[in-house]
Structure 1
């Protein structure tokens, strides 16, 4: 993935999950690994995640770089996103 594709992906995640915003640390993490990622695979994984989960995906869940434990994966997103205070 290019950096431009990475920024678009993060913007897409924020638009799909409007009650959260991506943390600065998460953006830096994505930038560090974006060159190693397949854009099509990540987008497909994001869409699959969005159809089945009410919370935003963690980096591991949509990149396929590490297997996440399904029982606790719902909590990992909280390390990567912040809740928007004024979202309605």
Structure 2
């Protein structure tokens, strides 16, 4: 979000909630939080919030991050694929992992 877009966002919030003035420190914190957000998506969420809520939004209520896939999801998918390949390889080679002793003791009972 660009600086001029951020100022528009703050003006909209203050216009919708005139009893709530946004201070300099709050504006600086919000500015840092909004750097990676898409202005148009945030404005859509703000307008929805204004329609439904008598109180001003927190940054979390109107935040929209445009990143399509998180790094964690990418890593988890890679691990899942590696595990699948390892299991298939072990099955083809006839390798089996030994059964833990605590499990074999319980199965014998």
TM superposition score category, shorter chain reference:
0.5 to 0.7
Contact 1:14 1:22 in 2 (8 A): yes
Question: 1:13-39: per-residue Cα shift (whole Å, max 9, x none)?
Answer: 001111110122211012213320110
SS of equivalent to 1:20: coil
Instruction: Pick the structure with more strand per residue.
Output: 1
Report deviation, 1:64.
Answer: 4.0
- Structure 2 gap segments, 5+ residues each: 66-109
Looking at structure 2, the residues matched to 34 and 3 of structure 1 have their Cα atoms a distance apart, in angstroms, of 10
Q: Which has the larger radius of gyration?
A: 2
Higher mean Cα deviation, 46-55 or 17-26? 17-26
**TM-score under structure 2 length normalisation:** 0.55
Higher relative contact order (CA 8 A, sep 6+): 1
* 1:12 aligned residue: 12
* 2:42 aligned residue: 42
* 2:51 aligned residue: 51
**TM-score under structure 1 length normalisation:** 0.68
Cα RMSD of the aligned pairs, angstroms, is: 1.3
How many residues in Structure 1 have an aligned counterpart in Structure 2? 65
1:47-86 aligned at under 5 Å gives the runs: 47-64=47-64
- Structure 1 gap segments, 5+ residues each: 66-88
SS of equivalent to 2:21: strand
Looking at structure 1, the residues matched to 19 and 27 of structure 2 have their Cα atoms a distance apart, in angstroms, of 17
